[in-house]
Amino acid sequence: MTEDLKPWFPIRTARLLLREFRDSDFDDVHEYAADPEVARFMDWGPNAREQTLEFMDRKLQEQTRWPREEVSLAIEHLADARVIGSIRLAVSDRDNLAGDFGYSLNSAYWRQGYATEAARALVDVGFKTLGLHRIWAECDVENVGSWGVMENLGMRREGHFRDGKLIKGAWRDRYLYALLQPE
């Protein structure tokens, strides 16, 4: 992100803390990353322990650098005192002030508004702190939960990409959603 910017995290929402990963999060992260339901529409997983270890190593390494264009944060459930997912925000096109985000959540916590709560906080940071003009995200057309989050945030479906991504050996259609700062 911009050189003069201080880290904008951790962020506390009503029920969640969005914060950097810690070594001790491994079991919580592996629980959702190893779940085939969670990985169904993703280009990774379900993870073996080694793959989650690689993910954690990569995140802990990234966290030693600042500024960085892409920030991934653990989603900590405050009442349960555990990590239930992760969310990322990237300044993907700095010249055009555009950013994108993505998220994954432990399936035991689905459909309780947690992804909407976390994503809303990051979209807020994107517009108000990072000065982005446009924030977008993509998902599988069958990933109703994911585009449900985007619609909750008031994002607009701008595109339907045929065979937009090769997921686990099959071409999948993708939706593009976006929101502009003035909106």
Ligand X SMILES: CC(C)(COP(=O)(O)OP(=O)(O)OC[C@H]1O[C@@H](n2cnc3c(N)ncnc32)[C@H](O)[C@@H]1OP(=O)(O)O)[C@@H](O)C(=O)NCCC(=O)NCCS
Buried b (16+ CB within 10 A) or exposed e, 49-86: eeebeebbeebeeebeeeeeeebbbbbbbeeeebbbbb
Q: Which is nearer to ligand X, 21 or 103 (CB)?
A: 103
Q: How far is the CB of 32 from ligand X (least distance, A)?
A: 7
Alpha helix (H) residue ranges in the chain: 26-33, 36-39, 49-62, 114-124, 144-152
Residues that bind ligand X (CB under 6 A): 38, 41-42, 102-105, 110-116, 139, 143-146, 148-149, 152
* Residue 113 or 131 with smaller CB distance to ligand X: 113
- Smaller CB distance to ligand X: residue 58 or 111? 111
Residue 96 or residue 112: which is nearer to ligand X going by CB?
112
Two tokens, residue 59:
């995140």
Strand order, beta sheet including 134-140:
11-12, 16-19, 70-77, 82-93, 98-105, 134-140, 170-180, 156-167
| C-beta nearest to ligand X: residue | 148
User: Closest approach of Cβ 164 to ligand X, in Å?
Assistant: 11
CB of 114 to ligand X, least distance (A): 4
Nearer to ligand X by Cβ, of 40 and 131: the residue is 40
- Going by C-alpha positions, the residue among 54, 51, 71, 74 that lies closest to residue 62 is 71
Rounded least distance, CB 57 to ligand X, Å: 21
Q: Least distance (Å) from ligand X to the CB of residue 160? A: 14
User: CA 125 from chain center: how many Å?
Assistant: 13
